[in-house]
Chain A
Amino acid sequence: MADRKRNSKEYSRRSFLKMASGTAVGLAFGGFLPRLINVDDHALIIPASEGYILVDTKKCGGCVSCMLACSLVHEGKENLSLSRIQVLQNSFEKYPNDISQEQCKQCTFPACAEACPTKALTADPTKGHVRLVDSRKCIGCMQCIQACPQQPARIQWNHEARHSQKCDLCSVTPYWEEKGGPDGKQACVAVCPFNAIKFTKEIPTQVGDFGYKVNLRKHDAWGALGLPTD
C-alpha cells in the first residue's frame, strides 16, 4: 500500500510539475497583468466639484456650531472629532489670529482621491463630483489623511466606525431632512449664526488660501454693528 502511494505520487508529481510550470508562467503574468492593463484613470481625469465651502475667519465667533451641526447630521451624535469642518482657536491669541476655520477645499486636484488604494475616496459623479468617502470600501489605511496637503488634514479618522470621512457638502446626511450636496443645503452654512460660512458653485482659486478664506462681512449688518469689515 505504501509503495502504491509512492508510485502514484511520483506519477502525479511529474505531470503536476509540468502543469505547475505552466501555471507559474500564467500566474506570474496574471500577477503583473493588472498593473499593465489597469489604467489608474481616476487620478488622471477627475472632474471639478460642483460646490465649495468658503469661510470668513475674521467673522467666525468660535462657537463651533458648524462642527456640532456637521457631526449631528452625519452621525446622529455630537462629537467634534467627527466633524468634517474644524475650527481651531487659542483664547490667548489676539484677533485675528485667535481662530482659524479649516474646511475641505474640494480641491480640483484631490490628492486624497489619488492616494486612496481601493477607490473608496472618489469624486462621486452622482453627487456633483464632490470628493467623498464610501465607508464600505475604506480599508482604514489612512493614506488619504496623509495625502491631504492642508494642515490639519481635512479628512477625519472616524475612530468609532473605523473609516475615513470627509466633507461631502452634506450629500449624505441621514439625520437631516434637507436635501444636501452641491444642489442642496449644507448644515454648517445653515447653522452658522453670523453667516461666516458660505456655499458657492464657483471654483475658488487653488493657489494659496485666499480663494477659500474670504470676506463675508461687507454685505450685511456687520459694519452697522460697529464691527470691522476689512
Chain B
Amino acid sequence: MYGYVGKILRVNLTTRKISTINTEDYKEWGGGHGMGSAIFWDLCPDKTVDGRDPRNVITIMTSPLSGTLVPAASGRTEVQGIGIQGHPIGWYTRSNFGGRFGAQLKYAGWDGIVLEGRADKPVWIDIRNGNVKIRDGGHLWGLDTWATQEEIWQEVSDGQGFGNWVEIDSWRDRGRTTQRPAVLTIGRVGELQSPLGCLIHDAGNGAGQGGFGGVFGSKNLKAISVIGTGSIDIAHPAMLMNARLWTREKYGFNVEAPAADVGSFNFPAGPGATPYLPPGIGQRPQGCTGCHKMCRGRSAGGGNESHCVDYLFYNNYDAAKHGQITHHLLQAADLVQKAGINVYQMQTGLIWLNHLYQQGILGPGKQIDCDLPFDQLGDYVFVERMVEQIEKQEGIGKYLFKGLAQAAIDLGRYEQDLRSGILPLQEWGYSHHYDARTEVEWGYGSLLGSRDCNDHDFNVCCYWTPSICALFGAEFPVSAAELAAIIAEKCVPYSDPLMADYSDEGIYKEPMAKLVQWHRHYSNYYKQSLLFCDWAYADFVNPYAEGKKGLTGEAEPKFFTAVTGIEQSFEEGIEIGRKIWNLDRAIWALQGRHRDQEVFADYIYEVGAQPGYTTYEIPYVMPVYENGQWQYKALSGRTLDRQKVEDWKTIYYKLEGWDPNTGRPTRRTLEGLGLKEVADELEKNGKLGA
C-alpha cells in the first residue's frame, strides 16, 4: 500500500486487549474522519450512549498524506466519537489537531488508533513501532499536559536522553531516531471529565472542541505516546517532489519577495504568530510536520505554539490594561495549554462574565457571586484564578466546569443571555466563531453539523480579505465578480454563478445551499479525511497565481495520486465527501436529530450583526449580487429571518436528498451512496427519512 501503512491499532481499555484492524477494509473512506466515522458505525452499536459511557468509541485517525511531503497536509490528526460539549445533546462529533503525532503514528506503522471501553485505573498507551503497551498512569494523573509529556519522554527514551540517536528497541535493529516521542494528553479538567477538557500535543496543538479531553478522562486514559522509525511508501516519489516544488514556485509564500496578501491566512500566507508578542522578544515561526507556511511560533518569552484563540482569548485584555501586549499574555496562553482547557470556552466565557460584571450582575457579593479579580483583567493572575476555580470547581468555576451552556442554565441566565447575545453560543452550545448572520455558510454548515464547523475556506476570501481592505481602504485583490467566478469555477460539481452571493436575498436561496453543500463535502473529504489543513486549504484566491486563481481543485487530487498511486478526480473526492457527510448525518439521526432542533441561538434572529461576540472580528464586508451586479458590501446590522432560514433548510435538505420534514437521509440517497445497511439501521430505529 502506498501512503497508508496498512494497520489500525485497536485498544480495548476494559479488557486491555490490543488488536489490529486492516486499513484495506476502510480504504474507500480515504482516511481521517471518513474512516473514523465508518469504524465508529461498525464498532459502536448503540449510538445513543453518552460520551462518557465506556461504549463510546473514539478513533484517532491519520490520512495517507500524513507524514509525507504534501504541504500543509502532513501534520494533522483527526479525532471523532460521541462528544460531551454539544448542547442539548452531545453529538457524535469531531476535532482535529496538528503537530507531529499523526506523522509519528504512521512511522510507527499505524494508520490510526481505535479506543474502546474504560480502563479500571489511570493508564497511558506506549506505542513504539509495533510494540504497544498499556502502562500504569497513576503517577501522571494530576500532572499538567506539559509535565505529562516530559515525563513520558523520559520513560520512553529508557534513560538514553535526547539530542542523539536513540534505539527504538533494546536489542533487535528496527531503527533509531533523533525525534522525541509525540504525546497526546489531557489536563486536570479532562481527568475530571469536564466538557472543557481538550487533547493537547506538544506545547500548543489542541483538539479543542467536542470535549474529547473529558471523554479520555472518562476512559481513565491520560495519554498516548507514539514514536516510530518506519517508512511510508510513496507511489510516485518524483511526482510528489515535483508537486511540492510546483506549489512553492506558483502558489506558496515566497520569503524573498512576498506578494501582498491582505487579510489572508491560507495557503499563500506568510508565517504566523508575529503580531502577538511583546516587543523585543525573539521568536521564530513554527509549523507542523511537512508544512510550508508555519502558522504558529515559539518565542523567547514563552507562548510556544499558541497562535490563535489560545492567544486571542486574552490579548485584547492584556493590551487594554498595559498599553501593549506583555508577558502576561504569554503566561496565560501557556497556562491554558498546560491545563488542557478549551480556549473557545475561555474566550466566550470571559466575554460573558465581563458583560455580567460590567452590568453589575456578577461580582463579589452580587447576584452571581464571583470573586475573580476583574480589576486585574489583563493580568496573568486573572487567568490563573479562573483556571484554578474551574479545576477545583470552586466559585464561578463550579458552573464553568460544566460548560458554558450548562453554566448559564444553572445560573438561570440561559434564555436571556442567548437572546441578547452576551453569551454568544451560536449553535449547539458552541462558541460564536464567525457570524451566522453575515457569513451564513459558516453558520449553516455548523448548524447542519454537530459543532462550530471551523472551516475557513470561504472565511478568508469572502470575509477577511474584503473586510480588511474595506477597513483600511486598500485595493481588493480581486473584484467581487472575479471572486464569485473563481468560487463558482472551483466548487464542482455544484457550481453556480451565484453561489457566493451573501446579499440579504441570496443567503436564503438555492445557490447558497449549493455553496454549503460543496463546503460540507469538500471539508468532509479533503480536509477532515485526507487532512489537508484548514489553515491552507481551500485556496481560492492566491496572489502569486496566474489570474489569482488558487490551487484548489488541481493540487489536492495531484498530491493524493502522487502519494497513493490512486487516480481520483476532484469531483470523485467531493462525492466521497458527500458519502461521509451522509454517514455522519445518519449517526445524528440515530441520536435523535430532527430539523426542529436545527436553530441558531436567539440573538442571531433578534440582534443585528456587529463585532463584539469574539475578540477578533471586524465589521463584515462580503460579496453580494444585487441589482444585476457584484460588489463588496458591508453587512453590519443584519439579522437572520427565522422563517426564511427554515425555508432555506428545506431547499438544502432537498438538494442533499434528505427528508424535508425531518432533515434525515432517505433510503434512496443512502443506497445511492452504497450505504444500504445504514438505511436499514435507520429504518429499524424509526429514524429513516421518508
Contacts and interface: CB of A to CB of B under 8 A. Distances in A.
Interface of A: 58-65, 68-69, 71-73, 75-82, 86, 88-96, 98-99, 102, 145, 151-153, 157, 159-160, 175-177, 187, 190-191, 193-195, 220-222, 224-228
Given A92-B146, A92-B149, A157-B173, 12 more contacts: A72-B68, A72-B240, A73-B237, A73-B241, A94-B298, A159-B175, A193-B294, A194-B294, A195-B255, A195-B256, A221-B255, A221-B258
Contacts of A145: 165
A159 B129 CA distance: 13
Contacts of A160: 175, 231
B628 interface: no
8 tightest A-B CB contacts, nearest first: A175-B237, A91-B202, A61-B294, A79-B231, A91-B203, A77-B231, A159-B175, A76-B237
A60 B298 CA distance: 11
B178 A60 contact: no
Main secondary structure of the interface of A (DSSP, over half): loop
23 contacts: A61-B287, A63-B291, A64-B290, A65-B290, A69-B69, A72-B69, A72-B234, A73-B241, A78-B67, A78-B231, A79-B231, A81-B229, A94-B304, A99-B286, A99-B298, A153-B165, A159-B173, A159-B176, A193-B294, A194-B271, A221-B255, A226-B275, A227-B285
Nearest to A162: B173
Contacts of A69: 69, 241, 244
A45 to B, nearest CB: 31
B255 A193 contact: yes
Interface string B251-287: 0110111100000000000110011000000111111
A102 B179 CA distance: 12
B43 to A, nearest CB: 29
Interface string B64-81: 000111010010000000
Contact of B233 (A63, A73, A77): A77
A80 B658 CA distance: 46
Interface residues on B, range: 35 or more
A63 B290 contact: yes
Interface string B149-175: 110000000000011110000000111
Contacts of B275: 226
B230 interface: yes
A157 B176 contact: yes
Given A61-B271, A78-B232, A191-B248, A91 B304 contact: yes
Contacts of B176: 81, 157, 159
Main secondary structure of the interface of B (DSSP, over half): loop
Given A72-B234, A77-B234, A193-B248, A88 B284 contact: no
Contact of A220 (B175, B229, B244, B256): B256
B152 to A, nearest CB: 13
A224 B285 CA distance: 14
A151 B287 CA distance: 24
Contacts of B300: 94-96
B285 A61 contact: yes
B56 interface: no
A193 B293 contact: yes
A143 to B, nearest CB: 15
A86 B178 contact: yes
A153 B257 CA distance: 36
B282 A96 contact: yes
Nearest to A88: B178
B255 A68 contact: no
A221 to B, nearest CB: 5
Contacts of B174: 159
A80 to B, nearest CB: 6
A25 B293 CA distance: 71
Given A78-B234, A94-B301, A59 B258 contact: no
A76 B234 contact: yes
B231 A90 contact: no
Contacts of A60: 284
A218 to B, nearest CB: 12
A111 to B, nearest CB: 17
B256 A64 contact: no
